Structure 1
Amino acid sequence: MQMIKFVHHTVWAFDAEWAPDPLAGRLLYGLDEQTPRADIMQTMWRNNGATEENPNPYLKTVMCRFLSIAAVTRRQGRDGSVRVDLMALPKTDDPDSPEAQEVAIVDRFLRALGEKKPQLVGYNSINADMKALLQRAVVKGLYQPQFAKRPNKPWEGVDYIARNSDWHVDLKELVGGWGVTSPSLHEMATLSGIPGKMDVAGNDVPNMWLAGKLGEIVAYNEFDALTTYLLWLRMAHFSGHFDAGQYHNEQQLVRELLEREGEQKPHLLQYLQKWNELRALTA
């Protein structure tokens, strides 16, 4: 039995970004509506174990709001041709736009999953991203019957929630160990010649959101989705789904994507440059 059991004709490698939800902070800690968002977030961190060494501890995901979801999509046609694209929500850098609101982001992504039913790929997505999506969808009162429909047994149909479902491939579950022995996405990718974290880290996102830098958050989110996809390609190659020639061609499709989209999104050309540098170093 292979580590990755199959590669569906439609694969989405995704990543999500979130930050402490000021509304959650006000409701849980009885804060006044006039309390600034930054002060609310500090209160949330302080009540969840903040220290001088770790001023912004990881919060329960139910207390956080989604800012962006990005995915690299791979679609294989009946003729064997493959198309790779990059999608990201929201499609605006205006944080006050209706499509930038959390309800719109989560609703659109889960609806697309329910309708398209791709094979989903993530990194720590079983324990983090998917749980956060479920928690926030319930909190926001969304209606997602197509996504929520599950087979009686994981192997009898599409199931993104079950830990042992092959429709949701969590790369960290495959390569990780216990506690500190588990590699981060940055570590696993960088040592494989794939860009990991570049100019932004996850801890930077809340302050970027407070500063209204939604466009930069979406760009960072796209980086992580690309990294997750490239790592999945490498692990699918290891598992025998792509031989050396096919693996080379699959990577070339990503290079073409970066060059194509880089005309409108210069940060993707920066990603391509970093990828070239790491490939040279690890060759």
Structure 2
Amino acid sequence: MPNTPLLVFDIETVPDVATGKRLYPDIRALPDDDALTALIALRHAEAGNDFMRLPLHKVACLSFLWFDQGSFNLKSLTLNEHSEDEILRIFLRAFAKKPTLISWNGAGFDLPVLLYRMTHHRLNAAALTNAGFKQNDYLNRYSEKHIDVMDRFTFGAWGNKQKLDTIASLCGFAGKGDVDGSQVVPMVQRGEWDKLANYCESDVLNTWLIYLRWLSVNGKITHDDESALIAHTYDFIGRLTDDDGNLRHQRFLDAWEL
């Protein structure tokens, strides 16, 4: 069985319009909605796409799966219920128990963005940045305290980078379904916070399942261990309900080739 506690996490982001206005004086006087449109257009002109530079991402949702001694806890923090500052503070509190972080492209995106946002809010991030010895350093690419599963599969070669949805499908897991990252900003604009959290949580669940497969492939757990943990995960997801009593991740369960 994997050493615990484990913290599997993922973030969804929107452009940081306030910082964008400071960076681009020509859009400073615009209303936020117009400034967002202008900021996206500027990024297209710079890079040919609307993927913002990492410091211009604002956390709209942070989802995490906490696994410790056989027990699961799946939770999402969104801007609908928390300020970004609060989301980051709650995330940092988790480091008191010194979990092992599990992510997909966390070293390339999630952790740098989170660190930039902590810098923006002047938060004490020592629990994340000052872990001590190199092998226990969350920010060290080769540390065992942060397993970026995508990076482990690619051997650190950027050209081998694969999408989470691709590897989830390869393994017979549920994948992302009909939602992708390009829909995050529209979901936030429409106030579809439950849909956003569900999407972010599905990424976390796929990352967890792929991590288990990676452990099995590398001989760190047995095939029977993997099967038992997968069955345990399936049972856990099958007991998660929303406020109306409906299964929270019905689509995920339906698409999962168990």
State the one-letter code of the partner of 2:50: P
Q: Deviations over 1:33-73 (max 9, x none)?
A: 5x33332222222222359xx6x521112111101111122
Check 1:165–1:179 CA distance in 2 against 1; reply closer, same or farther (3 A cut): closer
In the alignment, is residue 42 of structure 1 matched against residue 33 of structure 2? no
- Runs of 5+ unmatched residues, structure 1: 1-5, 77-81
Match of 1:175 among 144, 153, 171: 153
Contact 2:173 2:209 in 1 (8 A): yes
Q: How does 1:262-277 map to 2 (within 5 A)?
A: 262=241, 264=245, 266-275=247-256
Match of 2:168 among 189, 204, 212: 189
Percent of residue pairs bearing the same amino acid type: 24
What's the counterpart of residue 79 of structure 1? Answer: none
The alpha carbon displacement at 1:225 in A equals: 0.4
Contact 2:240 2:248 in 1 (8 A): no
Check 1:265–1:176 CA distance in 2 against 1; reply closer, same or farther (3 A cut): farther
In the alignment, is residue 71 of structure 1 matched against residue 58 of structure 2? no
Counterpart Cα distance in 2 of 1:61 and 1:16? 13
Contact 1:83 1:253 in 2 (8 A): no
Counterpart Cα distance in 1 of 2:184 and 2:212? 27
What's the counterpart of residue 162 of structure 1? Answer: 140
Aligned-CA RMSD value:
2.2
The structure showing larger relative contact order (alpha-carbon pairs under 8 Å, at least 6 residues apart) is 1
In the alignment, is residue 89 of structure 1 matched against residue 77 of structure 2? yes
What's the counterpart of residue 142 of structure 1? Answer: 123
Counterpart Cα distance in 1 of 2:219 and 2:191? 44
What's the counterpart of residue 20 of structure 2? Answer: 25
Check 1:67–1:265 CA distance in 2 against 1; reply closer, same or farther (3 A cut): farther
> Please, what TM-score do these two structures have when normalized by structure 2?
0.90
> Please, what TM-score do these two structures have when normalized by structure 1?
0.83
Q: Deviations over 1:215-255 (max 9, x none)?
A: 21111100000000000011111122221221111011111
The count of corresponding residues between Structure 1 and Structure 2 is: 254
Name the SS for the 1:266 alignment partner: coil
The alpha carbon displacement at 1:110 in A equals: 1.7
Q: Deviations over 1:58-107 (max 9, x none)?
A: 1112111101111122112xxxxx112212213xxx72x4x2x2111112
Counterpart Cα distance in 1 of 2:106 and 2:163? 12
The alpha carbon displacement at 1:174 in A equals: 1.0
Counterpart Cα distance in 2 of 1:102 and 1:201? 22
In the alignment, is residue 131 of structure 1 matched against residue 112 of structure 2? yes
Contact 1:84 1:253 in 2 (8 A): no
Counterpart Cα distance in 2 of 1:230 and 1:265? 23
Contact 1:185 1:228 in 2 (8 A): yes
The alpha carbon displacement at 1:22 in A equals: 1.6
Contact 2:237 2:249 in 1 (8 A): yes
State the one-letter code of the partner of 1:46: A
Higher mean alpha-carbon deviation, 139-148 vs 58-67, is at 139-148
What's the counterpart of residue 92 of structure 2? Answer: 110
Counterpart Cα distance in 2 of 1:102 and 1:49? 26
Counterpart Cα distance in 2 of 1:191 and 1:109? 31
Name the SS for the 2:66 alignment partner: strand
State the one-letter code of the partner of 1:17: E
